[in-house]
Amino acid sequence: MKRVPALAGVVLTGLLTAGCGADEPTLVIYNAQHEPLLEEVAPAFTEATGIEVELRNGKDLEMSNQLVQEGDASPADVFLTENSPAMSQVEAAGLFEELPADLVQPIPEVFRPRSGLWTGFVARSTVLVYNTDQVEPSELPASILDLADPEWAGRISFSPTGADFQAIVAAVLELEGEEATRAWLQGLKDNGTVYDGNNVVLEAVDSGESEVGIVYHYYWERDRAENGDVSDNSEQYYFSDQDPGAFVSVSGAGIL
């Protein structure tokens, strides 16, 4: 992934410190990030500061909806997400405090909003993985929107319930509009097979059960780096710049 673990850890540690009130014995984090990341950062933070961390884990929109409902009465000090739409929801509700400039300075401006109310701290790209025994590179679609065409019937796999796919849909909606997005989703539904999670999509493509699949690139990169069990028979395909499929999603962090 375009994850930079060392930088992510530094930014998260700085964010947790900034999120602490003067007399708070416990820092409450509403966490929609991958739990293993916080299981590394939180104990290190407690050891360095003496401040205990309480993690309340959930999904992006589940946690953002809870924050909006709780409003100023929320016990949360910090909000972490896997993707940006939930951050935008909480920002629109006026719940974030402005982040210290020195905290976000290491993060490229493209990965944080102009408002300065939250920041991205890791990023990943949408890719199409394809089975190299079944699909030639010349056959691959020019746009992610082309996957709704009849020629891809029965050949696609994707996981629509995750926050990552929802972020892709948000990108299509922003760039193409509501009518085109609805038609695209219907085409994917007609053409594709739904799986529960990106790892399962990756497995389906690698085994030949599906010819192509929509995933975030780090699932493929991670497996290939570890052992290639579910990536040896596939490759990644990046959509061209300005296509909705060339979507880069950021994990967000903000102080409440």
Q: Output the pLDDT for position 7.
A: 39
More confident residue, 30 or 241: 30
Question: Per-residue pLDDT averaged across 20-44, rounded?
Answer: 80
| Joined tokens for residue 123 | 């990023």
pLDDT tens column, 95-135: 999 888 888 888 888 888 889 899 998 888 889 999 999 99
- pTM for the structure as a whole: 0.75
Query: Over the chain, what is the mean pLDDT?
Result: 87
The CA distances from residue 207 to 16, 132, 226, in Å, are: 42, 11, 18
Domain topology for 124-249: D-Maltodextrin-Binding Protein; domain 2 (3.40.190)
Q: What is the pLDDT of residue 234?
A: 96
State the fold for domain 5-123+251-255: D-Maltodextrin-Binding Protein; domain 2 (3.40.190)
| Other Cβ atoms within 10 Å of 96 Cβ, number | 21
Per-residue model confidence as pLDDT tens digits over 169-225: 888 998 899 999 999 999 999 999 999 989 999 999 999 999 999 998 989 999 999
Q: pLDDT value at position 33?
A: 87
Distance CA 155, CA 147 (A): 9
CATH topology identical between 5-123+251-255 and 124-249: yes
Two structure tokens written together for 116: 């300065």
160 pLDDT above the threshold of 50: yes
What tokens were used for 204? 């389906």
What per-residue confidence (pLDDT) applies to 208? Answer: 96
Q: What is the mean pLDDT of residues 61-83?
A: 94
Residue extents of the structural domains in the chain: 5-123+251-255, 124-249
pLDDT for residue 16: 64
Confidence of residue 12 (pLDDT cuts 50, 70, 90): low
The residue whose two tokens read 């000090």 is: 77
Main-chain dihedrals φ then ψ at residue 127, nearest 5 degrees: -140, 165
Kindly state the average pLDDT of the residues 219-237. 92
Rounded to a whole number of angstroms, the CA Rg of the chain reads: 19
CA-based angle 84:241:1, to the nearest 5? 50
Mean pLDDT of 32-59: 86
* Residue 41, pLDDT above cutoff 70: yes
Which residue, among 211, 196, 103, has the nearest Cα to 155 in the 3D structure? 211
